[in-house]
């Protein structure tokens, strides 16, 4: 191992996670397979370098390693994050998500801004971004939200990787709820008629009419179709966020119906 080449210089190309360890260290033996497995799962996002502190005591001293396992994240030549001890896979994933810089998110934010401004080319750019960066969850969810009422199969495909326990699971489950709303076959009851009108509004891209009819269906029978009007309303407001104009205008009416 050449630390300067394999860690410092290479960290200008992608983040490098350095695991300071030793063969006699029990917690190191617990952490090793977990972090090595993650490095394979997330290949291309970051790379792992293992440093045996018995063989490289100079590096341990230089980087302030006082106990092992000690894991440090290097980016552009500097250590920008660290943890000590044998963390679980979920804890390490959370640490990585918090500390690994992702320059792609800036490009994604630009695309989403253009989508909000109704740029006709932005949706195609988002689709291309997802194709080139399938590991960026924010992009998959953003595209799923854009196509949930027009291409349900694509929306479900986009959220398929998000399973229970994933930090994006709730957002993905909202998409699944809205797909179910889109595919529901309403009856001729008052709730069913309002739900059908909501589906027509969703297909037409009329978000204001969509939430108005959802509230109407919930008012008529919030338990209709296994609570579908209520669940769809909650999913819409969560997808829009608290600062969305329609959330500010209609959430209080929806909540009054529920409670």
SS3 212: helix
Strand 78-84, strand 70-75: pairing: antiparallel
Q: How far is CA 17 from CA 2, 50, 79, 174, 216, in A?
A: 15, 8, 9, 34, 53
Q: Is 25 a catalytic residue?
A: yes
* Cβ-based neighbours of 204, under 8 Å, separated by 6 or more: none
71 counts as catalytic:
no
DSSP state of 12: G
Q: How many CB atoms lie within 10 A of CB 25?
A: 18
Identify the active-site residue in 17, 25, 111, 236. Answer: 25
Q: Which of 242, 124, 234 is nearest to 175 (CA)?
A: 234
In contact, 247 and 238? CB cutoff 8 Å: no
Cα 43 vs. chain centroid, distance in angstroms? 18
Task: Give 10's DSSP letter.
Answer: G
Active-site option among 7, 16, 28, 108: 28
Residues taking part in catalysis: 25, 28
């Amino acid at each position: 191992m050449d630390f300067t080449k394999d860690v410092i210089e290479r960290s200008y190309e992608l983040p490098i996670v350095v695991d300071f360890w030793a063969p006699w260290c029990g917690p190191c033996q617990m952490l090793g397979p977990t972090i090595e497995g993650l490095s394979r799962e997330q290949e291309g996002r970051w790379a792992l370098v293992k440093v045996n502190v018995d063989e490289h005591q100079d590096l341990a001293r230089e980087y302030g390693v006082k106990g092992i396992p000690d894991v440090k994240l290097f980016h552009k030549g500097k250590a920008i994050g660290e943890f000590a001890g044998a963390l679980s896979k979920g804890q390490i994933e959370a640490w990585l998500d918090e500390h690994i810089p992702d320059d792609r998110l800036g490009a994604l934010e630009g695309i989403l801004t253009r989508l909000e401004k109704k740029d006709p080319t932005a949706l195609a750019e988002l689709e291309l971004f997802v194709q080139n960066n399938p590991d960026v969850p924010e992009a998959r969810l953003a595209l799923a939200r854009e196509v949930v009422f027009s291409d349900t199969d694509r929306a479900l495909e986009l959220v398929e990787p998000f399973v229970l326990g994933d930090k994006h699971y709730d957002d993905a489950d909202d998409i699944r709820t809205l797909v179910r709303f889109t595919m529901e076959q309403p009856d001729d009851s008052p709730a069913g008629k309002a739900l059908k009108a909501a589906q027509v509004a969703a297909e037409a891209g009329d978000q204001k009419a969509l939430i108005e009819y959802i509230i109407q269906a919930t008012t008529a029978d919030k338990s209709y179709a296994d609570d579908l009007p209520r669940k769809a309303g909650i999913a819409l407001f969560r997808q829009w966020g608290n600062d969305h104009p329609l959330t500010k205008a209609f959430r209080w009416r929806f909540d009054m119906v529920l409670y």
